[in-house]
């Protein structure tokens, strides 16, 4: 691949994560669906924050986490997402710039507060997300800088941000500009519930040539093709005109194309602390591998390494240098 100013530009919800360890009983008492992402209003956000106990506050958002992982691998990353000019929004923008992620979206001067996701982590490492979207829903096509998109070898879209109509227009604008410049476009399906809402539109993006790469976990893929059988879903993906990258937790990942399916085992993890961001960081490693012209197998291995690092601690962004880890494993020089 060519190497313009930005290797991977991600578009998605700009969210600050509020993480806390909890137990199954708390999830039941709050009537939340374990392992899923649920949208909440501001009143519900305040209720959870008051009741969830000691919390860790870190910048998050799926596509922003991916950008952070890409930067940690020494690859040039950018992010497009909306925050308000408030304390939380300024924290988010600062955190991206501090890790050398290009971010040139203007902060909103009015409207709803910066988004927050209240992430409840149970002892098995599973995360349950309760997300107040706030300002991030107000991303518009005007926030998509054509020069930034044209300068990006891969433009990566977060399925979570397919809800707001203006954000959807922003995505379509980015797709048009990227392909006009000869760049690649990737989409992550984000969540099975997200797929259930927008199945036809996501399939349409694959089939009308909008997408070059599709990221999904196996459950999201099964939802996309409306089957309970993983093999049937993979066979359906094989018939599409995209490169499919499918994660399967401890079973590793599959890279699926019409010509072949590559199976790559997961990296071993001594203890799973928090699965938040595993898919985000896998995508980061895979696309960083593409930017460095690695083989598809090594791209998946790099993704697995990045995912293994992030699930070994609380929070969805790497705490160790992924570039150093990749060099130790012989994946990068």
Please report the pLDDT score of residue 237 as a whole number: 98
Length in residues, the chain: 333
- Better-scored residue on pLDDT, 286 or 35: 286
User: Which of 22, 65, 80 minimizes the C-alpha distance to 310?
Assistant: 65
Average pLDDT, the chain: 94
pLDDT, tens only, 74-90: 999 999 999 999 999 99
Torsion of CA 130, 133, 134, 136, to 10 degrees: 150
Closest CA relative to residue 130, chosen from 311, 276, 288: 276
pLDDT at 3: 44
Task: Please report how the helices 296-310 and 278-291 are oriented relative to each other, as an axis angle in degrees rounded to 10.
Answer: 140
Q: Bigger pLDDT: 291 or 57?
A: 291
Confidence at residue 1, expressed as pLDDT on a 0 to 100 scale: 45
Phi, psi of 208 (to 5 degrees): -95, 10
pLDDT at residue number 125: 85
Q: How far apart are CA 100 and CA 60, in angstroms?
A: 15
Task: Evaluate if residue 2 carries a pLDDT over 70.
Answer: no
> Where is 263: in which H helix or E strand?
strand 261-264
Indicate whether 104 pLDDT > 60.
Answer: yes
Q: Residue 195 pLDDT more than 50?
A: yes
Tokens of 41: 């209003």
* pLDDT attached to residue 289: 98
Give the distance, in angstroms, between the CA of residue 331 and the centroid of all CA atoms in the same chain: 22
Report, as an integer, the average pLDDT of 146-174: 95
Rounded to an integer, what distance in angstroms lies between the CA atom of residue 242 and that of residue 244? 6
d(CA 121, CA 290): 32
User: What pLDDT is attached to residue 37?
Assistant: 81
For residue 98, the tally of other CB atoms under 10 A from its CB is: 10
Please say if the pLDDT value at position 257 is more than 70: yes
HSE-up of 329 (CA within 13 Å, CB side)? 19
Whether 200 shows a pLDDT value over 50: the answer reads yes
pLDDT of 266 higher than 60: yes
pLDDT of residue 4: 56
Give the model's pLDDT for residue 185: 98
Residue 274's pLDDT is 84
pLDDT for the residue 53: 86
**Who wins on pLDDT, 189 or 316?**
189
| 126, 33 Cβ separation under 8 angstroms | no
Q: How confident is the model at residue 300 (pLDDT cuts 50, 70, 90)?
A: very high
């Amino acid at each position: 691949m060519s190497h313009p100013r930005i290797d991977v530009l991600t578009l998605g919800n700009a969210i600050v994560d509020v993480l806390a360890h909890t137990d199954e009983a708390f999830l039941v008492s709050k009537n939340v669906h374990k392992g899923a992402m649920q949208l909440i209003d501001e009143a519900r956000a305040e209720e959870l924050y008051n009741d969830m106990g000691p919390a860790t506050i870190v910048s998050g958002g799926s596509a922003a986490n991916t950008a952070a992982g890409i930067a940690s691998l020494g690859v040039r990353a950018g992010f497009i997402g909306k925050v308000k000019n408030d304390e939380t929004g300024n924290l988010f923008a600062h955190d991206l710039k501090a890790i050398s992620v290009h971010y040139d979206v203007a902060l909103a001067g009015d409207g709803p507060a910066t988004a927050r996701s209240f992430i409840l982590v149970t002892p098995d490492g599973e995360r349950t997300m309760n997300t107040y979207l706030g300002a991030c829903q107000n991303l518009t096509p005007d926030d998509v800088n054509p020069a930034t998109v044209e300068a990006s070898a891969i433009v990566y879209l977060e399925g979570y941000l397919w809800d707001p109509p203006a954000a959807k227009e922003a995505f379509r604008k980015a797709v048009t500009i990227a392909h006009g410049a000869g760049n690649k476009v990737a989409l992550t399906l984000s969540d099975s519930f997200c797929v259930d809402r927008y199945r036809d539109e996501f399939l349409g993006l694959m089939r009308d040539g909008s997408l070059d790469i599709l990221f999904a976990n196996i459950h999201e893929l099964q939802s996309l093709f409306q089957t309970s059988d993983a093999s049937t879903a993979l066979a359906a993906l094989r018939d599409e005109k995209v490169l499919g990258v499918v994660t399967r937790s401890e079973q590793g990942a599959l890279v699926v194309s019409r010509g072949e399916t590559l199976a790559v085992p997961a990296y071993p993890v001594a203890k799973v602390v928090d699965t938040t961001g595993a898919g985000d960081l896998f995508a980061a490693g895979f696309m960083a591998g593409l930017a460095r012209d690695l083989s598809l197998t090594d791209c998946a291995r790099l993704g697995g390494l990045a995912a293994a690092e992030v699930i070994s601690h609380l929070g969805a962004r790497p705490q160790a240098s992924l570039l150093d880890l990749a060099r130790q494993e012989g994946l990068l020089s």
